[in-house]
Amino acid sequence: MEIETVEPYSAVMDSFLRQCGGYAVIDGGLATELETHGANLNDPLWSAKCLIGSPHLIRRVHLDYLEAGANIIICASYQATLQGFESKGLSREEGENLLRRSVEIAREARDLYYDRAAKGSWDNIGDKDGITPRRRPVLVAASVGSYGAYLADGSEYSGIYGENVSLETLKDFHRRRVQVLADSGADLIAFETIPNKMEAKAYAELLEEEDINIPAWFSFNSKDGTNVVCGDPIADCALIAHSCEQVIGVGINCTPPRYIHSLIQSIRRVTTKPILIYPNSGETYDADRKEWLPSTGVSDVDFVSHVGKWCDAGASLVGGCCRTTPDTIRAISKALSSRSNVVSPTEF
């Protein structure tokens, strides 16, 4: 089929990828590393809980991923909703300030990374495993999780919200958060773990209705390699992303690595937009117990062994999601650097 190219927002990602040498590295699991550093995330706010009590840990994890080679760091706003903050007794103003703070923390980490690079204080920064120390382009992505993430009942992994949740319900739920994050200083908005076509449509309509003036990406999750988790075909969902001017990338996150290749192929058939993939470790999440089942995933070596195949299939941005670590991202960065044709970095 002939695919129409959508401008002008697409030029933003095209320019960024050129600066990265054709391929970019997305960071890895935020909550995974927060827990490694001692955070207790057994809370409906999940990683967003740290915005209230331990923002320094978020900054530390962002910096860990930058040091591992990430070109894009995703803010701790995935489960940060105004409704969720209000349930904790915070005012609407306090909730909005926490959303803005999620972006500020990521920007602070980027500034710190650049400052250390300028001073030559590399220590563990960038020169491990063949990654060349240099001032590379880094974007800050404000995360928007699904309605199911706010419910914290596992429905983000099923996409089944019930008959009472309509397109307008979802638009009303997300509207103010998207407005705040769009004006927060982020470089783009990452709509993540989208479990159904209806929510993708809600996001696309919000971007247009609210005249959101920063780019976005849409990232879906799947459990069979053909459909998103609710059963909607991934190609139908990708078409929604392709038709939205502000969307500059479309892809898959929080999905086992074994399903990624076929999903890339399905997406590539319906869009010319850059494809991004950041799978989880392949472990199984128990939504009832709210924990990952041990020994059900793949090692970093096995995970990274797929990177070349994914890029050959059409992926341009690669990272990790739940249960991946800076070691995973460092290995991905090394794998992508062998494919890259890096040009002189631009100041970001």
Predicted confidence (pLDDT) per residue in 292-333, tens digit:
566 555 667 778 899 999 999 999 999 999 989 999 999 999
How far apart CA 130 and CA 310 sit, in angstroms, is: 21
Q: Which two tokens stand for residue 147?
A: 């309605």
Q: What is the pLDDT of residue 345?
A: 40
Q: What is the pLDDT of residue 255?
A: 95
Q: What is the pLDDT of residue 132?
A: 42
Task: Judge contact between 137 and 346, C-beta under 8 A.
Answer: yes
Q: What is the pLDDT of residue 152?
A: 84
DSSP state of 50: H
Show binding-site residues. Answer: 254, 321-322
Residues of the chain scoring pLDDT < 70: 1-7, 121-135, 283-299, 342-348
Helices and strands (DSSP H and E) totals, the chain = 14, 10
Show binding-site residues for Zn(2+). Answer: 254, 321-322
Q: Look at residues 248, 43, 77 and name the one whose alpha carbon lies nearest to residue 178.
A: 77
227 SS3 class: strand
